Amino acid sequence: MVTATESQIFSLDAAGVNKPSLAGLTRDGLKNALAAAGVPDKQLRMRVGQLWGWLYAHGVTSFDQMTDVSKDLRAKLADMYSLDRPEIVSEQISVDGTRKWLLRLPKRGHEMTAPEIETVYIPESDRGTLCISSQVGCTLNCSFCHTGTQRLVRNLLPEEIAGQIMLARDRIGDWPGAERPLDGRLLPVAERKITNVVLMGMGEPLYNFDNVRDAMEVASDDAGLSLSKRRITLSTSGVVPEIARWGEESGTMLAISLHATNDALRDELVPINKKYPIAELMEACRNYPGLSNAKRITFEYVMLKGVNDSLAEARALVRLLAGIPAKINLIPFNPWPNTKYECSDWQTIERFADVVNRAGYASPVRTPRGRDILAACGQLKSESLKVRASARPEADAADPAA
């Protein structure tokens, strides 16, 4: 459980004093915060329920809007806490409508600078997907991934993960009953823009297991943000021992960053493969709780020119996935400065996709989105620097492989 004091998002009030934010907190986090504000034990459950609705079903940004909370308590809460979201450093909007936010998080512990993360919103005709980050940087070094070149600064807290969803809803006017920022009309629930959340931003979510799990409880709670777990997907590079536990404790949809069909190549592209090779990864996938044709695992395969894009590899991919309820997502490689890789030719991707399609997989080639603003898969990287190892105990705890 995260305690109120160590888990808050801080903001500066008029007097320059840090006020912890309640936005994004779990029920336990809210309970602690309310208890610290003097709410008696026997009222805590009821008060948490009230705040929960205002925070997550309505998305209020001021305590004054919490009309069924007594004026005295509202004043007390406003005195001690804020409802701030992570701070927006910049917002970029791609020609295709994709939006990327660079967000600044509060400094914690011995951090010398405030860490920064990225969140991306991808609107499509039938859905809107929010891609959120789980860590600042990543400890793994997948050779084709921009985020991998940035060392981990720290794990995100549950409220910093759920806070990304709240901030995105604020920015695109996506709270039920909220006024649209642009034309002032009310937004009916059925018109909600963020329909899906993917943990495919910065970081390896299974290396921040508990915080990501708690944040997804906030995200999927029916009385709050109410995103169905069927519409939340966790993508992992293959932290085998945590896959079954994720299925049991959270049970969202799962995506695996596969990218190669033999260990020699996968060792090079996704180095965690040296620790958990393909056979073990496939075994963990076969055993993923709740797996069925209606709940398939997505296998992500980035198309790298001359590296993993031969037809023999397409056939090997089909063989490897035999017997697993699977979807295959072919991702055109998104370039970033100084990378040694290139994206496969379009014709090569199509031929590869043909083999996969003929084997019975409807394998959409994921159209790159937001490439012009470096918002596409694997292009995310913030300027946060690594602080001295001795000053960041939580970062090492975040990486069981360290």
Q: Which residues are catalytic?
A: 118, 377
Among 129, 378, 384, 398, binds ligand SAH (CB under 6 A): 378
Taking the CA atoms of residue 322, residue 327, residue 328 and residue 329 in that order, the dihedral angle to the nearest 10 degrees is -170
Instruction: In angstroms, give the least distance from the CB of 87 to ligand SAH.
Output: 23
Which tokens sit at 114? 């405030």
Binding partner at 314 among ligand SAH, ligand SF4, none, C-beta below 5 to 8 Å by kind: none
User: What burial letters (b/e) apply to 367-390, b meaning 16+ CB within 10 Å?
Assistant: ebbbbebbbbbbbbbbebeebeee
304 binds ligand SAH (CB under 6 A): no
Question: Of the ranges 24-32, 139-147, 152-160, 324-332, which one interacts with ligand SF4 (CB under 6 A)?
Answer: 139-147
Binding mask 164-203 for ligand SAH (x = CB under 6 A): ------------------------------------x---
Binding mask 233-272 for ligand SF4 (x = CB under 6 A): ----x-------------------x---------------
Q: How many CA atoms lie within 13 A of 228 on its CB side?
A: 3
> What kind and span of H or E run contains 264?
helix 263-269
Taking the CA atoms of residue 162, residue 164, residue 167 and residue 173 in that order, the dihedral angle to the nearest 10 degrees is -90
> What kind and span of H or E run contains 393?
helix 393-397
Q: Which is nearer to ligand SF4, 138 or 157 (CB)?
A: 138
204 binds ligand SF4 (CB under 6 A): yes
Instruction: In angstroms, give the least distance from the CB of 273 to ligand SF4.
Output: 11
Instruction: In angstroms, give the least distance from the CB of 379 to ligand SAH.
Output: 6
329 binds ligand SF4 (CB under 6 A): no
Rounded to 10 deg, the angle between the 158-172 and 209-220 helix axes is 40
Residue reference for tokens 């039938």: 126
Which tokens sit at 341? 């890789």
Q: Which is nearer to ligand SAH, 77 or 377 (CB)?
A: 377
Fill in the amino acid letter for 188. P
Q: Which is nearer to ligand SF4, 54 or 207 (CB)?
A: 207
333 binds ligand SAH (CB under 6 A): yes
159 binds ligand SAH (CB under 6 A): no
Q: Which is nearer to ligand SF4, 21 or 134 (CB)?
A: 134
Q: Are strands 232-236 and 196-199 parallel, antiparallel or unpaired?
A: parallel
122 binds ligand SAH (CB under 6 A): no
Q: How many CA atoms lie within 13 A of 264 on its CB side?
A: 2
Instruction: Give me the DSSP letters along 320-357.
Output: HTTTS-EEEEEEEPPP-TT-S--BPPHHHHHHHHHHHH
Footprint of ligand SAH (CB under 6 A): 142, 144-146, 200, 204, 235-237, 257, 300, 302, 331, 333-334, 377-379
Footprint of ligand SF4 (CB under 6 A): 138, 140-142, 145, 147-148, 203-204, 237, 257
